[in-house]
Structure 1
Amino acid sequence: MAEAEGHVAEPGDWFESLPIEAKHGDFLRRIADLLLTDAVFEGTKPLDVTGGSPVLRWCDPEDMASRLAEHRPSGDGRPATQEQLLAFVRFVVDYSVKTGHPHFFNQLFSSLDPYGLAGQWLTDALNPSVYTYEVAPVFTLMEEEILLSMRKLVFGDGHPSANGGDGIFCPGGSMANGCAINVARYKFAPEVKASGLHGLPRLVLFASEDAHYSIYKMAALQGLGEDGVFVVKTDPEGRMDVGHLESQIDSALAKGYAPFMVVATAGTTVLGAFDPLPKIFKVCERYGLWMHVDAAWGGGLLFSKKHRGLLAGIERADSVAWNPHKLLAVPQQCSTLLLRHGGLLSACHSRSASYLFQKDKFYDTSYDVGDKYLQCGRRVDALKFWMMWKAKGTIGLQKHVDKIMDNIKYFLGQVQRRASFKLVLENPAFANVCFWFVPPRLQGSQNSPEYWSEIHKVAPRIKEKMMKKGSLMVNYQPLRDWPNFFRFVLQNSGTNHKDMDFVLNEIEQLGKYM
């Protein structure tokens, strides 16, 4: 670039000297090309003779810190060149986990949906904040329509709970559970909004031992304390023991506590268990308790005519947490809280700030929905889901779910056929398959006193090998008295039976000499 007379060009002058339309256009086009090539197309293709990429390029934290330091903003305040910025983007892509990769099975989210990505780009390009109709006219209506459609799936199309209920998008399933606790508490004791817990009996809720850890976090955050969560035992399949639930409620009442809520789970994080919702509803009805269903993981089954029976009874819930970014593979993040009761969210959360929610606006202010949210400024998490639903249709989302369940059935059958693998649950209900890998040296020694302590060490070692190789990511954990086991979870309908075979072959290869 030519220098102006008497001026020494600085690194960032390439940008300042461009016409306004070229300033952004050229740079963003290069960024988009880089992302589409490296993060999307190559980043979602397994390694083979034709190319592809690893799931991740492992780098120890200390080494990563050193590499990242090379890309810090300049210490002397000078702007970066376009090439330096592009090099930084390449660095981020190169060393990030490719969650859309067909061999990423580490968390309850994955995949890279092109329609969802387009929706996310559209959201970021417009940079909206959704609290009033005047600043987000399309998105306020879009959110309400998506939430209504989801309520119809949960409570039944045409049921009063769908049209007369309510809902919000939340920054993750943990916050959806937290909002459910807050609303249930308000329903039980409305004075808590103004006066807090002062003067109230001790409020307690109930959740299974396999419920999401956010229940405890949110109970602590809202002043109930972690001890305010009474733990209910589960059966051998990981489902809530309803008999023990009743005894825990009776125990709380005998102590003078005030039970107000039961948290059931539809798809537990580790085992993928579904609590017996119809039986839990009867208990809640008998004791006058709010029934919340954490269906963050399992809610997507509502799209499947073949598998939605696992959610039988969810239509009786008072509130439901459902994360489309999990089973339905909507880009992070997309989490909702759905209520059968209208008006409660607003009564519980609203503050009517006059600088946002004026009642004398020139349009119907019932469309200013932001006051029922705990957040003020927030992203449009509905748009990417809207794009996917519109592009694929309800039929396409059903096919997505059914293919996942077909792949899981195949994967389970392959685990059962291999002597090196032992299932934690012989007949898992959902898209979680938990298993131990038994190295050749331990096979046939189940009665040895060291057997299970040795098995406990296997999964962490294999996990280290797969991550450093970059070939695969599958999570592991212990649970109750069980030593470390692998938890294979699936949301990516772009995978196939060949990918299922790869997982087991790779674990066998990495672990055969342990």
Structure 2
Amino acid sequence: MASARNLMTAADLGRFDVRRFADIVELYLETGIKVNSRGYMGRQFSSVMPVTAVFEMVAAMAPQPASYYEAGQLANVADRLIEEVFGRFIGWAPGSFEMVTTSGASLANMTAALVARNRYLSGSWNGGLAAGRSTRPAIAIGQDAHFSVSRIAGIIGIGQNQVIRLPLNDRRQICPERAAATLDEAATQGLDIFCLIASAGTTAIGANDPLPDLAALAKRRGAWLHVDAAHNGAFLVSDRLRPRLAGLELADSFCLDAHKALFVPALCTLLFYREKGLAETAFPQKDSYVFDPFEDEMTAVQSGVKNFECTKRPAILNLWLAWSLYGPRAFADKLERLVMMTEAAHQYLADQPDFIVPYRPESNILCFVHQPLGVCGNRLSSLQLELRNRVRAAGRYLLSKVDMDGRTMLRMVLMNHRIGLSDIAGMVGEIRRHAREILASNATHGEQNRPFRFEPQE
């Protein structure tokens, strides 16, 4: 903060200060995460294809708000072209579905839930959530759903008390059988589940929920099935990885983040609806300055009345540009490499006597625990947090952490295709070195901790 404050102009200079600009750029690069480093293993965002960064500058200097055709013609056309491409991957019939782009999966998930709410409570947009109902509308989500998903009920007026958390199996996927029992119990308490939100790539470990079973469960109960596929939805572009998304085509809606695993500048999220015509029911407000009473070839391709944003960046153009230049193979190659290396990292860590890897990775996310001899229980969890902090402070590697079932684990997310097993080995050595220093500086306190165990969640 002190450095940034010192770089702020104290008075109007009346000219461009080249040195000051260079210092600002340097401060930005110096203080940011080095996503191109082979030690960067911590988060679900990556460097971008260089050509998309160049085009991002062009789009910023010649802004074209992308919600309306007359303001951003190419962006609206690119939406339809990318929609066609992904429709073929999903297997949906041309013209039977639709896609809109949003700024992030948090907004996309909420938008899809609004469609589900307006479908379930047809007068809710104008009249609100009617009082005096015999049942209370509710949303069901997995225990490991992203925190933005759990916010949805509060935002759209359902209320946080009407969020049903569905139990997981030993792979941290929603368990369909136990989920059905949970929904039955909710019904006896006067809750009516109108929307079930599943995951394809949970943030914690990258797990894919069993979508065919959940689609059947939602259908039996007349509920809308939305899939938060922000991370693993990109697997659609790979023949090798696409089978991991089996059942996605059965969802009523789903979203994926192109700025995560399709390597374009943020924010660019694709939100798909299986049935054409439903997108515009999310925000059924039609003001004259953005809505024409008739549809022509211009209004047919624009998305302004289908999403929350009015002035929207033409982020889809970065994806369309890269697709036009390279085709799907460039994306698929990188994704497959990242997943393959994560599987190799899992095997490497599993072979180490002082590491625990409780879950086999389904994507490019891997959780693990370093367990030096004699460290267990609560002390082991606190050690993982301290290891994350020290590794981050040292600056050579970046890891994240996640808490599950009351225990802290380290977490790696491989987004850089240049990372190899030698980098994983280097990270392991770094962790061991810090662990030795921590244990040496904190003499044993004679704590009697229970052993560290990973068990299926009850």
TM-score by length of 2: 0.90
- Report what 1:507 is aligned to: 431
State which of 103, 114, 139 in structure 1 corresponds to 2:75: 139
- Please say if 1:473 is aligned against 2:406: no
Alignment match, 1:36: none
Q: Alpha-carbon deviation of 1:359?
A: 4.4
What amino acid sits opposite 1:298 in the alignment?
A: N
Does residue 456 (structure 1) correspond to residue 392 (structure 2)? The answer is no
Q: Which amino acid aligns with 2:64?
A: P
- Is 1:484 the counterpart of 2:408? The answer is yes
Query: Residues of 1 paired with 2:326 and 2:400: CA distance?
Result: 30
**1:207 & 1:265 partners in 2: Cα distance?**
9
Query: Which residues of 2 match residues 125-164 of structure 1 at below 5 A?
Result: 125-154=61-90, 156=91, 159-160=92-93, 162-164=94-96
Offset, 1:362:
8.7
Give 1:360 shift: 7.2
Q: Deviation per CA, 1:379-411, whole angstroms, max 9, x where unpaired?
A: 011111112222331122221111111111221
The CA deviation string for residues 58-99 of structure 1, in whole angstroms up to 9 with x for no partner, is xxxxxxx2222101232x444462322222222222222222
1:48-63 equivalent positions in 2, closer than 5 A: none
* Structure 1: distance between partners of 2:377 and 2:262: 36
Deviation at 1:422, TM superposition (A): 1.3
Deviation larger for 321-330 or 308-317: 321-330
Task: Note the 1:208-227 alignment, pairs <5 A.
Answer: 208-227=142-161
Residues in 2 aligned to 1:347 and 1:416: alpha-carbon distance in whole angstroms: 49
Are residue 310 (structure 1) and residue 244 (structure 2) matched?
Answer: yes
Cα deviation for residue 321 of structure 1 reads 1.4
Between the aligned partners of 1:500 and 1:276, the Cα distance in structure 2 is: 30
Task: Report the CA distance shift for 1:495/1:125 in structure 2 as closer, same or farther (over 3 A).
Answer: farther
Mapped to 2, the partners of 1:294 and 1:471 lie a distance apart of 32
Query: How far is the alpha carbon of 1:118 from its aligned partner?
Result: 2.5
Distance 1:288 1:272 in 2: 28
Paired residues for 1:436-451 under 5 Å: 436-439=369-372, 443=373, 445=374, 451=376
Write out aligned runs for 1:117-196 (5 A): 117-154=53-90, 156=91, 159-160=92-93, 162-196=94-128
In the alignment, the residues of structure 2 paired with residue 362 and residue 249 of structure 1 have an alpha-carbon distance, to the nearest angstrom, of 44
1:69-108 aligned within 5 A: 69-74=5-10, 76-79=11-14, 81-108=17-44
Within-5 A mapping of 1:260-275:
260-275=194-209
- What SS is found at the alignment partner of 2:205? coil
Q: CA deviation at 1:470?
A: 1.2
Q: Does the 8 Å CA contact 1:219/1:228 hold for their aligned counterparts?
A: yes
CA distance in 1, matches of 2:79, 2:241: 27
| 1:412 aligns to 2:337 (yes or no) | no
Task: Please give the alpha-carbon distance, in whole angstroms, between the structure 2 residues aligned to 1:414 and 1:383.
Answer: 39
1:209-264 superposed Cα distances (whole Å, 9 cap, x missing partner): 11111122111111111111101110111011112221222223223332211111
Q: Residue type matched to 2:367 in 1?
A: C
Deviations 1:317-353 (A, max 9, x none): 0001111222222222221211101111113314222
Alpha carbons 1:207, 1:230 under 8 Å: kept:
yes
Q: Is the 8 A contact 1:118 1:384 kept in 2?
A: no
**Equivalent residue, structure 2, for 1:20:** none
3-state SS in 2 of match to 1:378: coil
- Distance change in 2, residues 1:491/1:328 (3 Å): farther
- Residue 197 of structure 2 aligns with an amino acid whose one-letter code is V
**Identical-residue share of aligned pairs (%):** 23
Distance 2:299 2:324 in 1: 28
**Quick one: distance in 2 between partners of 1:285 and 1:142?**
33
Question: Post-superposition shift, 1:194?
Answer: 1.4
Q: Distance in 2 between matches of 1:189 and 1:361?
A: 27
Give SS of 2:305's match: helix
Q: Distance in 2 between matches of 1:418 and 1:314?
A: 36
- 1:363 is displaced (CA, Å) by 6.2
How many residue pairs end up in the alignment?
Answer: 435
Letter in 2 for 1:210: D
For the structure 1 residues 360 and 510, does the alpha-carbon distance in structure 2 shift closer, same or farther, using more than 3 Å as the test? same
TM-score (norm 1): 0.80
Alpha-carbon distance in 1 for matches of 2:396, 2:409: 19
Q: CA RMSD in A?
A: 2.0
The amino acid across from 2:244 in the alignment is: L
Q: 1:250 aligned to 2:175?
A: no
Q: Find 2:269's aligned residue among 306, 318, 335.
A: 335
In structure 2, what residue type is equivalent to 1:479? M
Q: Which stretch has the larger CA shift, 462-471 or 226-235?
A: 462-471
Corresponding residue for residue 140 of structure 2: 206
Q: Is the 8 A contact 2:254 2:271 kept in 1?
A: yes
The higher radius of gyration belongs to 1
Counterpart in the other structure of 2:221: 287
Residue 10 of structure 1: aligned partner: none
Q: Find the aligned partners of 1:496 and 1:329 in 2 and give their Cα distance.
A: 19
What is the rounded CA distance, in whole Å, between the counterparts of 2:88 and 2:253 in structure 1?
A: 13
Other structure's SS at 1:134 match = coil
User: What is the CA–CA distance in structure 2 between the aligned matches of 1:406 and 1:111, rounded to whole Å?
Assistant: 19
Q: Does 1:116 align with 2:52?
A: yes
Q: In 1, distance between residues paired with 2:289 and 2:325?
A: 38
Q: Distance in 2 between matches of 1:163 and 1:141?
A: 15
- Deviations along 1:242-296, one digit per CA (max 9) or x if unpaired, are 1222122222322333221111111111121111111111111111111111111
Match of 1:212, as an amino acid?
A: H
Structure 1 stretch displaced more, 164-173 or 85-94? 85-94
Q: For 1:344-383, what aligned pairs fall within 5 Å after superposition?
A: 344-359=278-293, 364-383=298-317
In structure 1, C-alpha distance between the alignment counterparts of 2:294 and 2:110, rounded to whole Å: 32
Pair 211,125 (structure 1): closer, same or farther in 2 beyond 3 Å: same
- Higher relative contact order, structure no. (Cα contacts within 8 Å, ≥ 6 residues apart): 2
Question: Matches of 2:21 and 2:394 in 1, distance apart?
Answer: 28
| Residue pair 2:200, 2:232 contacting (<8 A) in 1 also | yes
Matched-pair contact (CA < 8 Å) for 1:329–1:491? no
String of CA shifts for 1:189-225, please: whole Å, max 9, x gaps.
2211111112454210111111111122111111111
Offset at residue 361 of structure 1 (A): 9.6
| Runs of at least 5 residues in structure 2 that lack an aligned partner in the other structure | 439-458
